[in-house]
Structures are given as structure tokens and as C-alpha cells.
Amino acid sequence: MSDVCIIGVGIHPFGRTDGLSGMDQGVYAVRQALADAGADWADIQFAYGASEAAGNPDTMVEQLGLTGLQFINVRNGCAAGGSALFSAQMAIKSGEFELGLAVGFDKHPRGAFNPMPADFNLPDWYGEAGYMITTQFFANKITRYMHEYGISATSLGRVAEKAFRNAVHAPHAWRREPVALDAIMDAPMVSDPYTKYMFCSPAEGGVALILASEKKARELGKPLIRLKAAAMRTRPPGSFEVFAPSIDIKRGGSATRIASTDAFRMAGIGPEDIAIAQLQDTEAGAEIMHMAENGFCKDGEQDQWLAEGLTEIDGRLPVNTDGGCLACGEPIGASGLRQVYENVVQLRGDGGGRQVPGNPKTAYGHVYGAPGVSAVTILER
């Protein structure tokens, strides 16, 4: 079967844009992606749109044009963008369509998300007692992981330091000032061992990708960035997820491990073949755990990887080349598509000051979220 190709990308800068709705930021990204692809809105046959908190994506046809196209909304937590992209590629693979759009955008209020127990099928006392706090979960998870695999607190700091350093060169990133390792380590604790620089924040932004069949991509004369795999998976028994009043004694795998294994199988390559990786880093330790869960290193090797700079732009496997969630923030609907945007930029060689050297040919994107969902994409040039 011929591949699905990504022929146009667009992004509205992440962060805070007062006066512009999340939807408008999505529309901005779509127009940029159309221009990049050299396509007209009237040529787009279908769209999948993802937004958690900024409205129904399909209503953007009001601004883009009432062409009558098929437009399906996707809501899938942190995997929403990945799910939109998965659905879009299936629409082309099925032979039904040749040219379509995956778009994601969001706009969250300032401060931490404020979830309610009932939305997670939990009793009210759980929230009343102060447990509906995502940072508690992230911190408990990494504390256990650090204990089991000998990961140092300095490694958490190194991940954050790298994120802000890479973001200096990413025009779409939010926090683009470098922060010294000492300042990261000495900052106020939010949930031990994480200081305030080690968590990402809810944010705003929009990303759009134009997808085409290989035949259509060749007609349009675009460089062929092939989507070799897109896999979205849910959790197995024994995983450790947010808002858990108890977890099983018998520990198990994770949604990430399943999605990653299946994506590599679909692409017919392995972790050693990947040149660039964007890994979900809602907090610094997530990037560390996800390096192993996605098969790039063994549990416990991360300290050495980070100390030796193996995940830097010029390292063996550059990770989160645009600063990831730590520097870009997390507009939920757009976050997974940002990774794919960044991977396309890198594979085209358009990364500027953050360009990975050596003419990279393969790029990996990974999102993970509540309550145990993960989506992985693999691109090849």
C-alpha cells in the first residue's frame, strides 16, 4: 500500500495570546498549512479536528469556507491530536479520500487544570480530601521510578534545562529564555522532587497538518514526508495512572509501551533507527520514563544519557528539539500535533538554530495522558 504523506504544516505560536480564541488560533494554523502545501481550502476533502476546551472544531468552516467537506471532531484527552491524525491517515489509506486536514487547538485558563472527581468516576471525598491534583500523581510516579532505577534529581533538572535551551531557537515555543541548571534545581518545590521549572503549564496554541495520498503528494510536487506509523493505544492492567485511590500490587506495562511497540512494527523499523524523538514531557520525569518506555534506552540508563548529552540537538538521539511541553506549554488538543509539526520541520531541514545535524531521515512523536492513553507517530523522509 502506498504511504500517507504530510505535505503542509502550520502552527499558531504556543503560550498566551490574549484576544484570540483557541478556534482562531486553529484557523490561523490551517491557513498557514494550506499555504505551505500549495493547496486551496476548496481542495480539502475532509478534516479531523481536536479541541478539549476551546469549542467544536467543525465550526471553523465558518471562517475557512462552506465547501461542504466532511469534518469530524475528536475528543480524546491528551491523545486527541494523535487520534485526529490517526483518523485522517485512515481516511486516506481506505482509498475514500486523497487530501485532508488534521487540526488541533486549545485555550486553557491560567493555572493548573481543576478536575472534578465525578468526571473521573471517583467519589466526592477524593476531591474534598485534596487528591484531585495531577502534580501529586506525577511526583509520586517519578519518586518511585527514581528509587527503582537510581535516577538522580539532577537528571530532572537537565531535562528542563535542555527544554528551555532548545526553545530559544523555536519561534512557536512559549518560554524561550534559557534557565540555568542551578536556578531550576533551587526554584520552589511544587511537588517534591519537582520544582516549578519541571512542570509544563496549560497553554494556548493551534497546529494544522495537511495529509495527502502519495499519488496526490507527487501531483502537488511536495517533498514526501511519509507517515509510516500512527498508533493510539489504551492502558494494560497494572499501569500507574492519575487519580488512583489505589493501584495493583502486581505492576504491569503502560499504554506507551503498547503504542510504541505496535508503531515500530507498523513502520518496520526499531528504536535504533530513529534520528529524532519528541516525547511527552508534561513534567521533566515524564521525558526520562518515556525514553525507556518507547524503547530508546533501558530503565536506569537515563542518568548517563543526560550527563553525556545524548538527547541534545547534536546528540545520539535529540529529544524534544523545540523544548517540548516544558517550553511550549500544553494546549491539549494541539500538543500531539505540535510534535509532528516539529518533526516535519526537522526532516525538511528547516529547524534553523535547533536543526538536528546529519540530514535526519526518521522522526518519532509520542503523547501520553490521562487515564492511560498514548499515541505514537513515526515519520520518514
Provide CB contacts within 8 A for 345, sequence distance 6+.
9, 351
Q: By three-state DSSP, how is residue 253 classified? A: coil
Binding mask 340-359 for another protein (x = CB under 8 A): --------------------
Closest distance between another protein and the C-beta of residue 15, in Å?
Answer: 22
Residue 124 vs 314, nearer CB to another protein? 124
Residues that bind another protein (rule: CB under 8 A) add up to a total of 34
Determine, following the binding rule CB under 8 A, whether residue 285 of this chain makes contact with another protein.
no
Closest distance between another protein and the C-beta of residue 156, in Å?
Answer: 13
Residue 24 vs 283, nearer CB to another protein? 283
Residue 68 vs 130, nearer CB to another protein? 130
Closest distance between another protein and the C-beta of residue 51, in Å?
Answer: 23
Region label for 100, one of left (φ > 0), alpha (ψ between -120 and 50) or beta (otherwise): beta
Closest distance between another protein and the C-beta of residue 299, in Å?
Answer: 16
Q: Which three cell numbers stand for residue 124?
A: 466526592
Determine, following the binding rule CB under 8 A, whether residue 149 of this chain makes contact with another protein.
no
- Distance (Å, rounded) from C-alpha 108 to C-alpha 102? 20
Determine, following the binding rule CB under 8 A, whether residue 117 of this chain makes contact with another protein.
yes
Closest distance between another protein and the C-beta of residue 194, in Å?
Answer: 8
Q: By three-state DSSP, how is residue 152 classified? A: coil
Beta bridge partners of residue 50, listed in sequence order: 74, 104
Binding mask 154-193 for another protein (x = CB under 8 A): ----------------------------------xxxxxx
Closest distance between another protein and the C-beta of residue 140, in Å?
Answer: 5
Binding mask 121-140 for another protein (x = CB under 8 A): --xxx-xxxxxxx-xx--xx
Torsion angle of C-alpha atoms 58, 59, 62, 64, degrees rounded to 10: -40
- Distance (Å, rounded) from C-alpha 372 to C-alpha 115? 16
Closest distance between another protein and the C-beta of residue 373, in Å?
Answer: 21
Query: What DSSP letter does each residue of 81-94 carry, written as one string?
Result: HHHHHHHHHHHHHT
Contact (Cβ atoms closer than 8 angstroms) between residue 267 and residue 380: yes
Contact (Cβ atoms closer than 8 angstroms) between residue 204 and residue 14: yes
Torsion angle of C-alpha atoms 243, 151, 176, 337, degrees rounded to 10: -50
Closest distance between another protein and the C-beta of residue 139, in Å?
Answer: 3
Query: What DSSP letter does each residue of 186-244 carry, written as one string?
Result: HSPEEETTEEGGGB--B-EEEEEEEEEEHHHHHHHT---EEEEEEEEEEPPTT---SS-
Q: C-alpha angle 160/166/167, rounded to 5°? A: 90
Residue 245 vs 270, nearer CB to another protein? 245
Provide CB contacts within 8 A for 304, sequence distance 6+.
none
Binding mask 55-94 for another protein (x = CB under 8 A): ----------------------------------------
Whats the size of the chain, residue-wise?
381
Task: Kindly indicate which of the ranges 62-70, 109-117, 228-236, 277-285 contains the residues binding another protein, using the contact rule CB under 8 A.
Answer: 109-117
Strand ranges of the sheet holding 362-369, from the earlier edge strand across to the other edge? 70-74, 46-50, 99-107, 204-213, 4-15, 225-234, 373-380, 362-369, 276-279
Closest distance between another protein and the C-beta of residue 195, in Å?
Answer: 10
Residue 38 vs 123, nearer CB to another protein? 123
Closest distance between another protein and the C-beta of residue 112, in Å?
Answer: 8
Enumerate residues 236-275 that contact another protein by CB under 8 A. Answer: 244-249
Of positions 42, 116, 180, 307, contacts another protein by CB under 8 A: 116
Binding mask 9-48 for another protein (x = CB under 8 A): ----------------------------------------
Count other Cβ atoms within 10 Å, centred on residue 180.
12
Of positions 59, 114, 304, 359, contacts another protein by CB under 8 A: 114
Residue 124 vs 182, nearer CB to another protein? 124
Q: Point out which residues bind another protein (CB under 8 A).
A: 112, 114, 116-117, 123-125, 127-133, 135-136, 139-141, 143-144, 147, 188-193, 244-249
